[in-house]
Amino acid sequence: MGVFQSFVTALEMLRMHKLRAFLTMLGVIIGVMAVTIIVMVSSGFQFYMTNEFKKLGSDTILITYDSWGGRGQRQASIDGLTVDDAAYLANQVSSIDIIAPLVQGPAEKVVRNDKEVKKTRIFASNGNFAELNRVKMTAGRGLTEEDIRNRANVCVVGDEVVKVLFPNEDPLGKLISFKGISLEVIGVFERVDMMGETNARDILLPITTAQDKWLGGDKLMMITTRPKAGVKVDQALDDVWRALMLKSGNKRIYRVDSRESIMNVFGNIFNVAGIVLSAIAALSLLVGGIGIMNIMLVSVTERTKEIGLRKAVGARRQSILIQFMVESATLSLVGGLIGMAIAFGLGKLVTLGTAAINWPSKGGLPTTFPVVAAIGAAVFSALIGIVFGLYPAISASRLDPIVALRRE
C-alpha cells in the first residue's frame, strides 16, 4: 500500500468513526485554533500601532530633558530645555530638517460669550508643529513665523472646540479666552484620533505668545524634529545625541527618541507576548498528540487480524509502518485544518465586533489570516501526528502474523 492509498484509507477510517475521530482531534483543533487566533490578534495590534504612529509621522524625533538621567552628576546651569536649545540643534546638526519647540500648558476652561469647553489641551509651538505632526487644516491657516516674531494673540483649534463654541457659524476671526488671555482663531485642525486620544479639544498658539503673555519662563516640554530627506532616522538620532552630549559636557540629562523607535518597542512587546501566549496554547497540541497516540494504539488492537492477514499475504513491515503513520498524520492534519477554519471565522467575528464599537479605532481591529503561520501550524500538526503515531505504527509492524490471525 502506497502513501496515497494509505491517505485514502485514513480518510475512510475518519468517515466510519466520526465521533471518535473528532474527540481524538479535539486537542489538536484547540491548539491550532488558539495559536492561529493569537497570531492574528497580535498581528492586528501591530498593524494598528504602525498606522497610529504613521498618522503623526513615525520619523519624528522627540527630545526631552531627563532630570533623572543626570542624577549624581553635577549638572551645572542646565536644568531644562529652552528655545535656545532648539536653535543650537538647528545650527549644530546638519542631518535634521525642521524643528518645533513645544510647550504644554495646564488643562484650561476655554470660553466664548456664554459657551465653554472644559479641560482643553493647550500647546504652544511654531509654524513647523503642524507639518512635523502631519496635522492638516480644515479651515483657515496654521501658525507662521510672523506670528512667532510678533507674539501674536492667535490660535488654531480642534473641531470639537469649534462645534461647542461656534455652533452654526464661522470661527475664523472670532475670539476665545482662557486664564485672562484672548486669542483670535485663525485655523481649525483636522481631527486625528490616536490610541484613545484626540486632538479635537486641542488649542495651539505661538510659543512666544505663551511664554511672554501666559505661562512665563523659557522652559520647553519637548523639542521635535525630523531627519532631512535621504537621512536615516537612526543616523539623525545619533547626531542629535552627540550634539547634546557636547553641550552638556557628556552628562546624560537628555532623552532622544523617535516615534519609529517607540513603535518598534511596542512591536517587540506584541511579538514576545504573542510568542509566549502561542507557546502556552501549543501545550494543547501535546495533549492532542497523546490522544492520537492512544486512539492509534486502540486502532492497532482492533485491527490485529487485518494486520496479520496483510502480513500473511506478503505485506512488509515497512508498508504496515507507513500505513499507520499516514493515518496518524492524517488524523492530526485534519484536526489542524479544522482548527484553522475555526480561527479564521473567529478572526472575522473579532474584526466585525470591534468595528461595531469602533475599538481600538474606527474600522475595528484588523485580523488578517496569517497564511504562512497557518501553513506552519498545519505542517506542525501533521508532525505531531507522525511523532505520536510512531509508537503505535511500530507496534503494528512488529506483530507476528500467526499470533495476529489467532487473536480474537
**Tens-digit pLDDT profile for residues 196-223:** 788 899 999 999 999 999 988 889 999 9
- Cα distance between residue 89 and residue 93, in whole Å: 5
What pLDDT, on the 0 to 100 scale, is given for residue 387? Answer: 85
- Cα distance between residue 109 and residue 121, in whole Å: 9
CB 155 within 8 A of CB 204: yes
CB 166 within 8 A of CB 113: no
**pLDDT range class, residue 407, cuts 50, 70, 90:** low
What pLDDT, on the 0 to 100 scale, is given for residue 69? Answer: 59
What pLDDT, on the 0 to 100 scale, is given for residue 73? Answer: 52
The segment with the largest mean pLDDT, out of 69-83, 94-108, 262-276, is 94-108
The residue to which cell 493647550 is assigned:
122
Give the residue-averaged pLDDT of 118-130. 93
Phi, psi torsion values for 121, nearest 5 degrees: -90, 125
Q: Tell me the β-bridge partners of 197.
A: 194
Q: pLDDT, tens digit, for every residue of 26-54?
A: 888 888 888 888 888 888 888 888 887 77
CA 319 to each of CA 128, 322, 395: distance values in angstroms, whole numbers, following the listed order? 75, 5, 13
Q: Which residues, including other chains, have CB under 8 Å from residue 91's CB and lie 6 or more apart?
A: none
**Per-chain mean pLDDT for the chain:** 86
Strands 154-157, 181-189: pairing kind: parallel
Residue 149 belongs to what H/E stretch?
A: helix 145-150
Share of the chain above pLDDT 90, in %: 37
Which segment of 143-147, 204-208, 245-249 scores lowest on mean pLDDT?
245-249
What pLDDT, on the 0 to 100 scale, is given for residue 194? Answer: 76
For the chain, give the number of residues. Answer: 408
71 pLDDT higher than 70: no
242 pLDDT higher than 90: yes
Share of the chain above pLDDT 70, in %: 95
SS3 157: strand
74 pLDDT higher than 60: no
For 332, the grid coordinates are: 492530526
Give the residue-averaged pLDDT of 324-347. 88
For 198, the grid coordinates are: 484626540
**pLDDT range class, residue 2, cuts 50, 70, 90:** low
72 pLDDT higher than 60: no
**pLDDT range class, residue 155, cuts 50, 70, 90:** very high
- Cα distance between residue 313 and residue 309, in whole Å: 6
378 pLDDT higher than 80: no
CB 347 within 8 A of CB 364: no
CB 291 within 8 A of CB 24: yes
Instruction: Please give the distance of CA 77 from its chain centroid, rounded to a whole number.
Output: 41
CB 192 within 8 A of CB 199: yes
Q: pLDDT, tens digit, for every residue of 161-189?
A: 999 999 989 999 999 999 879 999 999 99
What pLDDT, on the 0 to 100 scale, is given for residue 209? Answer: 95
Give the residue-averaged pLDDT of 64-72. 69
CA 340 to each of CA 31, 329, 393, 404: distance values in angstroms, whole numbers, following the listed order? 10, 16, 27, 39
Residue 258 belongs to what H/E stretch?
A: strand 254-258
Q: pLDDT, tens digit, for every residue of 351-371?
A: 999 888 878 777 788 888 887
Q: What is the 3-state secondary structure (H, E, C) of 381-403?
A: HHHHHHHHHHHHHHHHHCCCHHH
What pLDDT, on the 0 to 100 scale, is given for residue 77? Answer: 58
